[in-house]
């Protein structure tokens, strides 16, 4: 599953919006072996912005996002969620049941 399957992934979001940061976190969690290329493709966030967001997540939210299997051919993995609650972040990313119920009616 990629974040393109999620409703919000291709919406225009202001550059400094926390929604973009959340979409990056969700992409890292949902994509199998999320490297920089996959993250830029699936989120629409430029590489330079991804690096800045990863730094911000570490500095401001104490998240630990590791690079597995080296810098060149490796991928990202969240090893510590820091101040953020994984369940709440992932719940926000999931389509709500009320939206699905409205569509059925």
In CATH, what number is assigned to the domain containing residue 72?
Answer: 1.10.10.10
Is 105 a member of any domain? no
- Give me the number of domains the chain comprises: 1
The overall pTM is greater than 0.85: no
Structural element, H or E, at residue 77: strand 75-80
- The whole domain housing 10 covers 3-94
Tell me the pLDDT band of 93, cut-offs 50, 70 and 90: confident
pLDDT recorded at residue 61: 94
Block residue for tokens 């369940």: 87
Start-to-end CA distance of the chain, whole Å, equals 27
Per DSSP, the three-state class of 47 is: helix
Is 104 a member of any domain? no
Please tell me the least confidently modeled range out of 10-19, 20-29, 32-41, 78-87. 10-19
Per DSSP, the three-state class of 67 is: strand
Joined together, the tokens standing for residue 40 give 């830029």
Q: What is the pLDDT of residues 47-91, one digit of tens each?
A: 999 999 999 999 999 999 999 988 788 999 999 999 999 999 998
């Amino acid at each position: 599953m990629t974040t393109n399957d999620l409703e919000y992934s291709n919406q225009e979001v202001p550059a400094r919006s926390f929604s973009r940061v959340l979409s990056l976190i969700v992409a890292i969690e949902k994509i199998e072996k999320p490297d920089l290329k996959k993250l830029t493709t699936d989120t629409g966030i430029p590489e330079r912005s991804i690096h800045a967001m990863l730094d911000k997540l570490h500095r401001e939210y104490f998240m630990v996002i590791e690079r597995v299997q080296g810098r060149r051919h490796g991928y990202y993995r969240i090893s510590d969620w820091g101040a953020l609650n994984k369940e709440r972040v992932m719940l926000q990313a999931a389509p709500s049941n009320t939206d699905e119920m409205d569509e059925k009616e």
